Amino acid sequence: MHQAGNHDLPLVPGYVLDRVLGEGGMGHVYLGTSPSGRAVAVKVIRAEVAGDPAFRSRFRQEVDAARQVSGAFTAPVIDADPDAPTPWMVTQYIAGPPLDQRVKAGPPLRAEELRQLAGGLAEALRDIHRAGIVHRDLKPSNVLLADDGPRVIDFGIVRAAEPHVRTQTGIVVGTPPFMSPEQIRAARDIGPASDVFSFGSVMVYAASGHAPFPASDLYTVAYQLVHDEPDLSDVPDWLRSVVVRCLAKEPAGRPTATELLALLPARAEPPQKRPEPDPQPQPPLYVPTDPVPPGPDTTLPGLRKRRVLVAIAAVVATATLTSAVLYGMLQDRSGGAGGKGGSGSGTVSAPVSASASASAAARPPGAGSYAATQSGGSAYTYAYADGADRRPKGWRAWSGAASKPLGRNSTCVYAQASLLCVGDATVRIDAATGKSLWTRASITAYGQNSPAVVGDTAIVNTGDAIRGLSLKTGEDLWSYRTSILTQRLTTDGRNVYVAEHSGRVHAVDARSGTWRWTALPGSANTSQYPPSIRSFGGKVYLFSGKDPDDGGGPEDLLTVLDAGSGEHVAEYGLKPGCVMGSEALLTEGGRTVIYCVVTNSEETRTGVLRRVLGAGGASSTTWLGGSWGSGQVGAAELSVSRGRAYLAASDGADWSVVAVDTTKRTELWSAPVPGAKAVDTPPIHAGGRLYLAYNGGGASFDASSGDRLWYHKPQAVGTDPWETSSDTEPLVAGGVIFLPEPQGGWMSLDAARQEKP
């Protein structure tokens, strides 16, 4: 510690703390300087609060989620260490008064000021919602008026330490009078529509100087929010028509943040400096405030989802199970079967060796044809047949496709010689040329939702609606709206399935959008995230969990439903619990088999669980040899075929592809991944090859031996390789690989060439 005035300043690695900006029950906020000389706000949690495991867990999860938010109108997280003895977080330092102080100083905002505020807030909410985050506490004090436009702060990291309305269970849900009716009703699931309601209230306040429900006491405000009409008498006409829609009592009646941007009038000119009010004491600059334990979160961070999931779901992955025997046969990596890979020369697109077994027309054992949904099929094996007939006609290598509309993070599926991609927009890309065939700028990604294609219908989940579009033109075909946010979109070609945080699953017809059924797991899902959905053999499999914070150890529950009716078929416990999102299903010997990644209780070893379902079904775990999984921060999803599992694993320093014989419970081979600093996707087993994408580069390996066959040097690593390593798996068609680029958009390369090293 060092001193500033009468206050001891803590030591935060890499930052110099200058003075105290503010303090609260959870910690202090300091003005600091980064190594580059940048002014930053540094939040340091109090030691007594840091000792609470539940608080630390929430703080860690919220930091991970908030890092996904980026945009011109938010205050980004620059650095954080939620696992430090005294947790801390660094955000951009915003020099500007909060909106409430500006309005109190008078006069209320007018004309272009209001337009700039409305556009900036709507864009900020769009960016926040795209990242799978719901603000839940948008209010004037959380809006800063910087010279170059407004900034929304405290989006999922910190909450103000001031009076809040609480539910009967004591969970903080918002701050009157800018809450939504569903927050007043203490609804469990608060979605993006709640933020839109708060947006309307904030805009009324900015335009009139008072809230839309301006009662003097809290209880009257609460009643008005649910039952009365807002006071919009001082709101200009152009804004009133928008605010009326935002303040609809029911969430389904409000526009989304993206739709809100379209409703608002375009800005006539770039943001200018706000006019100075009458001379007043300088209002304090922005000070991040204290976090409070949030209520149940309905969202799953969708971008960087796999890295976030392993950091959190490793706890879930050690869940209880009553019917499996946990044992493994360790094999030293240095003494395993061949396949240590090639030279790692680093030459762009330089194949290392040719292998007869890496036929371009092979089918992984037990794998089917590619289906245009995440992982190439609703069973999530990340394995499918590939042959020359799938190669796009007239294909040539290309890069930078749709980088501007899609943004830095997007996910795609392959269908009809094209890529259907969702990110900051929905785009169809010609697989042969990389040219955009059509773009829907207003249909954006939400949370963990990959697109899908069934026949001529492109399917996208925006969180509050499943949208069916014409694959040919991009025009709307149908829409199925949900009152609660959904994620985990997958399709089996007949139905489309999505899940709520509560565990409830919706099934709709993939071609018409007609509701089929809604069902719940056999027991309540109390984990942080919606259940994983798998569809296989006419049944739907829901993998849900129990959060350790709810008492006892984490527990995985597998519920089996009939895909046609949604009726309950069976229920199983899984032990050890699966790493969330790693579950896959196969048929072996006429029986359904589950594969998934597991970790030991110390999270220092990684294994593969194989569980045969049904009466007398055996269960076994193959632990990877050596130190695979030690310190691993990327999710180890599997590529699975009969008796085999493949995954990318780290020993804390280097990355390798590892092959496992799940019948003999042995590690077959491991091959180093050249130039890899962070691998965030499973291998794709297409034909006889395994394909990996990482840091804008990629490699392929012979699936039987581990010999490296092709390599494309990573484009960028940077100081944080995870920021340039996409968590979207590559696509393969006829030996052509499609993979995301670090700067945004997609590229396509020939990974089937068999040139000399």
Residues designated catalytic = 137
E strand or H helix at 747: strand 746-750
Tell me how crowded residue 187 is: count the other CB atoms within 10 A of its CB.
19
Residue 707 CB contacts under 8 Å (≥ 6 apart), including other chains: 339, 341, 342, 352, 353, 355, 358, 671, 701
Give which of 404, 423, 401 is closest to 412, Cα–Cα. Answer: 423
Report whether 401 contacts 434 (CB < 8 A). Answer: yes
What six digits make up the tokens of 210?
A: 């008072």
* Rounded Cα–Cα distance for residues 597 and 584 (Å): 10
SS3 43: strand
Whether the bond between 296 and the residue before it is cis, its omega within 30 degrees of 0, is no
Show the beta-strand stretches assigned E in 395-538: 398-401, 411-415, 418-422, 426-430, 436-440, 452-454, 457-461, 465-470, 476-481, 487-491, 495-499, 505-509, 515-519, 532-536
Q: What is d(CA 477, CA 490) in angstroms, rounded to the nearest whole number?
A: 18
* Cβ neighbours for 361, distance < 8 A, ≥ 6 positions apart: 386, 387, 388, 687
Name the nearest CA neighbour of 480 among 446, 454, 506. Answer: 506
Number of residues written out for the chain: 757
Contact between 561 and 519 (Cβ < 8 Å): yes
CA distance linking residue 231 with residue 151, whole number of Å? 26
**Beta strand ranges found along 615-745 (DSSP E):** 619-623, 639-641, 644-650, 655-661, 666-672, 684-686, 689-694, 697-702, 708-712, 731-733, 736-740
Please tell me whether residue 681 adopts helix, strand or coil conformation.
coil
Neighbour tally for 529: CB within 10 Å = 29
Tokens of 573: 């416990």
DSSP 8-class letter at 80 = E
Both tokens assigned to 644:
């085999």
Question: Is the Cβ–Cβ distance between 402 and 421 less than 8 Å?
Answer: yes
- Which tokens go with 486? 């959904």
Distance CA 173, CA 137 (A): 8
* Degrees to nearest 5, angle at CA 683 with 681 and 685: 145
Q: List the one residue out of 76, 180, 198, 161 whose CA is nearest residue 127.
A: 76
- Rounded to 5 degrees, what are φ and ψ at 198? -65, -35
CA 126 to chain centre: 15
CA angle 590, 593, 596 (to 5 degrees): 165
Q: Give the pairing type, strands 684-686 and 383-384.
A: parallel
| DSSP 8-state code for residue 205 | H
Radius of gyration of the chain (CA): 26
